[in-house]
Amino acid sequence: MSESWRDGRSKEPDLTANIYAYDTSTGWSGVCAIATKNLLQAADIMHGSNSMRNAALSFAHVELLRASDGMATGSAEAARRAMVLSMYYIAQSQSLKVVHSRYGSVRGHWLSLLYQFQKGQTMIRPVFRSDIIGNQPMSKAMLKQWADEVLQEDKSTTDSGLSRQLRVGNALVLATKKTSQLNS
Amino acid sequence: MNTLKKPETATDPRLFPAAILQTQFTVLPKSATMKGDMAASEDLSIRLDGEYTGKIELGKAGSVHIANGAVVTTDMIIADFIYVEGTVNGKIHARKGMELSPTARVKGAIQYDIDLDMHPGARISGQINAPETILQNQI
């Protein structure tokens, strides 16, 4: 697999899908850039197999949480596993199929946004943006801004999964709050 | 103006329920302009043909058809099914199915909770929010 881990630059800018993970509860983020053919191969592997899709979904949650809780850096095994699982998480999504069939390419920016709740659940919101911001991977600051925008959208949308959790009193753990809890 | 006549569509929808096209109400005719928010708590199927600015929230089921030629500027449109043939600036959220026809132009964000279908020719400038997944207490 052609990939670059947190190096901030893609070696194949014309053929690149940028995969991101961001945990709103810790501020941890991961990024990798892979050739679009590899992302499509991952989709092919899971095509028609619900068990593989379900495994990808579950393991993505677990590995993202593990990497985030350990604040794994780019070269750490936990970060690599988290990003591979993020890739498979994106690969199984209907968005990938739709984008591929519509545009003939899966180039762009694919984010798995992780929410952690006080009662222990985790939620992943997958989001896609096309190349309108360019082919290169986003900087950390841009990624944080994007994650914040999606978080605010989800909070303000009454029917989002995040809003449903908040309505039943399951508070979202946020980076600043978690830090303050740890410090208290 | 309400109408039950069959709407003229360039391409037949593949995801949007055909029965809704037969029964939807046109709440904004072509060449008309409207500003303001709309909400309904009962199942309602509406069609927009003109220029609309505002929010639409169909709280229980419901569908919105943004017809070819319609221009919608919105903070949010939410319904079970949304079928876009016209132009949307803003965010649209379909709890069940979102379909973008070949003439659809969306600048903003689309969110679908179950199904998404884009016909060749449809254009999105912005982002696609896919359904969330939740994992219970695995810590």
* Per-residue pLDDT tens listing for chain B (139 residues): 444 444 445 578 988 988 888 888 888 999 999 999 999 988 899 999 999 999 999 987 899 999 999 999 999 999 999 999 999 999 999 999 999 999 999 999 999 999 999 998 899 888 999 999 999 865 4
- Residue A27 C-beta-side C-alpha neighbours within 13 Å: 7
What is the interface size between A and B, counted as CB pairs within 8 Å? Answer: 87
A150, HSE (Cβ side, Cα atoms, 13 Å): 31
DSSP sequence for A90-159? HHTSHHHHHHHHHHS---EEEEEEEEEETTS-EEEEEEEE-GGG-SSPPPHHHHHHHHHHHHHHHHH-TT
Are the beta carbons of A94 and B132 separated by less than 8 Å?
A: no
Given a cut of 70, whether residue A6 has pLDDT beyond it is no
Q: Do B130 and A128 touch (CB under 8 A)?
A: yes
* The pLDDT of residue B23: 84
Per this entry, what is the length of chain A?
184
Mean pLDDT (chain A, rounded):
85
One-letter amino acid at B60 equals K
pLDDT of residue A75: 78
Choose among B127, B131, B133: nearest Cβ to A129.
B127
Supply the pLDDT for residue A72: 85
**Higher-scoring residue by pLDDT: A73, A143:** A143
Q: Which residues of A111-120 are buried (b: 16+ CB within 10 A; e: fewer)?
A: bbbbbbbeee
Mutate which of A54, A88, A98 to disrupt the B interface (most B C-beta within 10 Å)?
Answer: A98
Give me the pLDDT at residue B64, please. 96
SS3 for B36?
Answer: coil
Distance CA A164, CA A69 (A): 24
Strand-pair partners of A13: none
Region A120-138: mean pLDDT is 84
Tell whether the torsion through CA atoms of A158, A161, A164 and A166 is positive or negative. Answer: negative
More confidently predicted of A4 and B41 = B41
- Give B5→chain A minimum CA distance, Å: 31
Please count the CA atoms within 13 angstroms of the CA of B113 that sit on its side-chain side. 19
Banded pLDDT at A131 (limits 50, 70, 90): low
Asked if B69 and B30 count as a contact pair (C-beta separation under 8 A), the reply is: yes
Q: Is A120's CB within 8 Å of B139's CB?
A: yes
List C-alpha distances in Å: A162 to A10, B29, B40.
Answer: 33, 36, 23
Of A102, A127, A161, the CB nearest to B122: A102
Asked whether B112 and B131 are in contact (CB, 8 A), the reply is yes
Residue A131 Cα, gap to closest chain B Cα (Å): 9
Which pLDDT does position B106 carry in this prediction?
A: 95
Nearest 5°: the CA angle B28, B55, B66 is 45
pLDDT of residue A148: 95
Supply the pLDDT for residue A15: 64
Distances (CA, A) of B125 to A107, B98, B101, B107: 14, 16, 15, 5
User: Which positions in chain A touch B77 (Cβ < 8 Å)?
Assistant: none
Bigger pLDDT: B93 or A178? B93
The answer to whether B78 contacts A93, with C-beta atoms less than 8 Å apart, is: no
Q: Nearest to residue B110, comparing CAs of B136, B89, B134? A: B89
Distance CA A72, CA A69 (A): 8
Chain B residues with beta carbon closer than 8 angstroms to that of A159: 78, 93, 95, 113
> For position A115, what pLDDT does the model report?
97
CB contacts of B91 in chain A (<8 Å) are 153
Whole-number Å distance between alpha carbons of B59 and A115: 25
Helix axes A36-46, A77-91, angle to 10 degrees: 70
Q: Which residues of B touch A124 (CB under 8 A)?
A: 132-133
For residue A89, what pLDDT is reported?
95
Mean pLDDT to the nearest integer, A139-144: 93
pLDDT on residue A182: 39
pLDDT tens profile A36-95: 999 999 999 998 889 999 999 999 999 999 999 998 887 789 999 999 999 999 999 999
